[in-house]
Amino acid sequence: MTGLLTIEQLVSGTNGTVVCTGEIKNIIFTSVATDSRMVVENTLFVPLMGEFQNGHKYVPQAIEKGASVIFINKSEYEQKKGEYDSASEKNPNVCFVIVENTLHALQDAAETYVGKFPKLTKISITGSCGKTTTKEMLVSVFKAKYGDKVVYTQGNFNSETGLPLSVFNIRENHEYGIFEMGMNRVDEIGEISKVLKSKYGIITNIGTAHIGILGSQQKIAEEKRKSFRYIPADGAAFVPAADSFADFCVEGVKGKIVKYGSTVDSAVSGVTFISDEGLFGTKFSVDGVEVKLPLSGQHNFENALGVIALAKQCGIETKYIKDGLENMAKLTGRMEINQAKLKNGCEAFLVKDCYNANPDSMEKVIEFVGNVKNVNQKIFVLADMKELGEKSKTGHELIGKELSEISYDYAILVGPEMKYAFEVLGGTENKKNYYFEEKSDETFKQIVAFLMKVSKTNDVVVFKGSHSMELEKIIPEVCCNGK
């Protein structure tokens, strides 16, 4: 059995020191985990340090479950040297690697591992919103041509720990690696970009997600453009032409700069818009070949244009672009639209987008539904957007303003921050607008009862809010099939 890295490669890559009483040459690791519950035989276990958590307390559990290599913070080892030396004597098949910082060691180990695959073409995706959908589109298009030769981010493993864990899925047969990059703090994108060193990179947009952490869109742009830092001269950076930060994001890029979007002339992009199919997607042609994108909304069409531009840059033929976009799997909880039989006997269209929310994505959903035609009532169930910090008040006020500018039948607003949207709409409950300050089982019960009372066949019902607001709990209570 061959390990992901030899102990020598691991130690060299992390600048670590080995504590081991057994034969190092006989120790291998074939998986990596930061959660001791995910440890299996021959795992590299990385205990992480948090503000209120010390992952080193799970080292005994990791050893018991079969971990073969374990990172230990130098400060932790120095404090408990006797305990770790004793554990090493009792477990000669376990190698402790002492490092300055276990998180940085995980990233360094991942960078070392990625370096083993110089022929792998690496693609990065980041942006304030739309990055996971764009990633799924790219994966679907590339798999249409390359099948299992494509490796990619699973789920939303896109963070300071998620991306390093994701790249350990790379294998010799892979030709393309498509990885998403998320951000929750300053320089997180910079750190994980150093791990991946992508040849091609795409930024979906510079919006207001995480503005509470970084303070301004300018700061967000400064972080996001770090994803282009390692693009080589024969690579390319893709940015939305209409984004006000597009030129800023590509400053200093060594490779080709490609701007995409509906404002780019079809003679350049090869894409011609045909029709907006409302709830059922968008029709357009790529180099004369008609494509039906199953995802609804202008924002998803814009993301598809980025995918098309990148795929063309990589030499993927139109037939594979068509197959990939038309057959991409729906993303649960992310602008998922389906027709459902409600428990009151009616059939309605549910727009479910309960995974994440920020002013940009919320505005896009409101605008999209506002423009939908040939439906009955339009009902919005909207909950707080998190991580906006001091921008929360203005961000939620914007949602009230967006609602006031479209035609809708009911707006049900949930959460202490949504009061700002409610105030823009008048601040008093009426036959159109309703407000619940706290999310709770009782709140959800009242919303379910209201929806069962007012909803009719051919209605559109929108559920949108940050994941922590748990709006997805309402859906099984209103649908006959529980989803």
pLDDT in tens, 409-422: 999 999 999 999 99
| Interior angle at CA 297, CA 241 and CA 451, nearest 5 | 145
pLDDT digit string, tens, across residues 412-451: 999 999 999 999 999 888 889 999 999 999 999 999 999 9
Strand ranges (E), 305-419: 336-341, 347-353, 378-383, 410-414
Q: Is 348 helix (H, G, I), strand (E, B) or coil?
A: strand
Q: What is the predicted pLDDT for the residue at 482?
A: 60
**CA-CA distances (angstroms) from residue 109 to 15, 48, 364?**
10, 14, 39
Reported as a pLDDT band with limits 50, 70 and 90, residue 330 is: low
Q: What is the pTM of this model?
A: 0.79
CB neighbours (10 Å) of residue 345?
A: 11
Reported as a pLDDT band with limits 50, 70 and 90, residue 333 is: low
Q: Above 90 in pLDDT, residue 297?
A: no
Q: What is the predicted pLDDT for the residue at 264?
A: 97
More confident residue, 482 or 457: 457
Q: Both ends of the chain: CA-CA distance in Å?
A: 44
* Proportion of the chain above pLDDT 90, given as a percent: 78
Q: What is the predicted pLDDT for the residue at 355?
A: 81
Distant-in-sequence, close-in-space partners of 182: CB < 8 Å, separation ≥ 6: 126, 131, 156, 158, 159, 162, 188
d(CA 74, CA 409): 60
Q: What is the predicted pLDDT for the residue at 77?
A: 96
pLDDT digit string, tens, across residues 115-138: 999 999 999 999 988 888 899 999
d(CA 175, CA 199): 13
**CA-CA distances (angstroms) from residue 124 to 40, 189, 225?**
29, 11, 11
Q: What is the predicted pLDDT for the residue at 338?
A: 84
Q: What is the predicted pLDDT for the residue at 483?
A: 62
Kindly state the helix (H) or strand (E) to which residue 136 belongs, with its residue range. helix 131-146
183 touches 206 (CB < 8 A): no
The mean of the pLDDT values for the chain is 93
- In 3D, which of 28, 6, 22 has the Cα closest to residue 88? 22
312 touches 274 (CB < 8 A): no
pLDDT digit string, tens, across residues 340-370: 999 999 999 999 888 888 888 898 889 889 8
**Parallel, antiparallel, or unpaired for β 256-260 and 236-240?**
parallel
pLDDT digit string, tens, across residues 34-43: 999 999 999 9
Q: Above 80 in pLDDT, residue 209?
A: no
- In 3D, which of 155, 126, 128, 163 has the Cα closest to residue 357? 128
Reported as a pLDDT band with limits 50, 70 and 90, residue 334 is: low
d(CA 56, CA 49): 8
Residue reference for tokens 């190092």: 24
Residues in the chain: 483
**Identity of residue 389:** G
Reported as a pLDDT band with limits 50, 70 and 90, residue 51 is: confident
Q: What is the predicted pLDDT for the residue at 337?
A: 85
Task: Lay out the sheet containing 43-45: strands in order across.
Answer: 17-19, 95-99, 67-73, 43-45, 31-33
* Proportion of the chain above pLDDT 70, given as a percent: 97
**Identity of residue 63:** I
Q: What is the predicted pLDDT for the residue at 279?
A: 82
pLDDT digit string, tens, across residues 381-403: 999 999 888 889 999 999 999 99
**CA-CA distances (angstroms) from residue 430 to 409, 411, 412, 433?**
11, 10, 11, 6
| Interior angle at CA 247, CA 245 and CA 249, nearest 5 | 65
| Interior angle at CA 156, CA 1 and CA 220, nearest 5 | 125
User: DSSP letters along 424-460, please?
Assistant: HTTSS--SSEEEESS--HHHHHHHHHHHHHH--TT-E
Q: Which of 220-224, 289-293, 294-298, 423-427 has the lowest mean pLDDT?
A: 294-298
Distant-in-sequence, close-in-space partners of 261: CB < 8 Å, separation ≥ 6: 240, 241, 242, 302, 305, 306
Residue reference for tokens 């709140």: 443
**Parallel, antiparallel, or unpaired for β 176-180 and 121-126?**
parallel
Q: What is the predicted pLDDT for the residue at 1?
A: 72
Q: What is the predicted pLDDT for the residue at 109?
A: 98
**Parallel, antiparallel, or unpaired for β 460-464 and 378-383?**
parallel
**CA-CA distances (angstroms) from residue 54 to 23, 31, 34, 188, 190?**
29, 22, 12, 21, 25
User: DSSP letters along 75-127, please?
Assistant: HHHHHTHHHHHHHHHH-TT-EEEEES-HHHHHHHHHHHHHTT-TT-EEEEEE-
pLDDT digit string, tens, across residues 133-179: 899 999 999 999 999 999 999 877 888 999 999 999 999 999 999 99
